[in-house]
């Protein structure tokens, strides 16, 4: 399996972690009975860190389909090379870094890290679309 596909698989593990983290914190805020219910009524306000982790999760889910599609297209088209390797590395490690930065509420650096992950996706797309890349 290529490095790019391996990093895509690990990004899916990250996605699972990003589903579980805010869910666990929210259960702590609302209690198991509320969380297991149909939640017809609003629960207590979402905590600051829980809200941040929920937003980080949404952010990952906005970019992950693009990254995954680009990696899979590159793989099927046989376009793996330096651009896809670097793109996958940048995306994965930036997404790993993004979670604690968002949870801790660190501005600017978090945005810069997000841009690095976007650059990673762009590199993979460039490898797919640009001949000789």
| Domain limits for position 34 | 3-129
Q: How far is CA 107 from CA 25, 37, 57, 118, 119, in A?
A: 22, 35, 17, 17, 19
- The burial of 62, by beta-carbon neighbours within 10 Å (0-12 exposed, 13-18 middle, 19 or more buried), is given as exposed
Total count of domains within the chain: 1
Query: pLDDT at position 36, please?
Result: 86
Model confidence at 63, pLDDT cuts 50, 70, 90, reads very high
**pTM, two decimal places:** 0.94
Q: How far is CA 89 from CA 23, 43, 82, in A?
A: 28, 39, 10
Report the pLDDT averaged over residues 3-30: 97
Average pLDDT of the chain, as a whole number: 96
Report the pLDDT averaged over residues 25-50: 92
Which domain CATH number covers 107?
1.20.120.550
pLDDT at 39 over 90: no
Q: How far is CA 82 from CA 34, 57, 64, 79, 96, in A?
A: 49, 29, 20, 10, 21
């Amino acid at each position: 399996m290529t490095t790019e596909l391996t990093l895509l698989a690990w990004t899916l593990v990250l996605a699972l972690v990003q589903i579980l983290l805010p869910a666990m914190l929210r259960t702590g805020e609302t209690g198991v009975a509320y969380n297991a219910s149909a939640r017809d009524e609003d629960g207590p306000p979402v905590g600051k860190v829980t809200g941040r982790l929920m937003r980080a999760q949404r952010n990952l889910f906005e970019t992950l389909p693009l990254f995954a599609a680009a990696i899979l297209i590159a793989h099927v088209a046989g376009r793996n090379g330096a651009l896809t390797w670097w793109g996958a590395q940048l995306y994965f490690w930036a997404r790993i870094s993004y979670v604690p930065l968002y949870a801790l509420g660190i501005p600017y650096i978090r945005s810069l890290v997000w841009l690095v992950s976007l650059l990673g996706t762009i590199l993979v797309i460039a490898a797919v679309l640009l001949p000789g890349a």
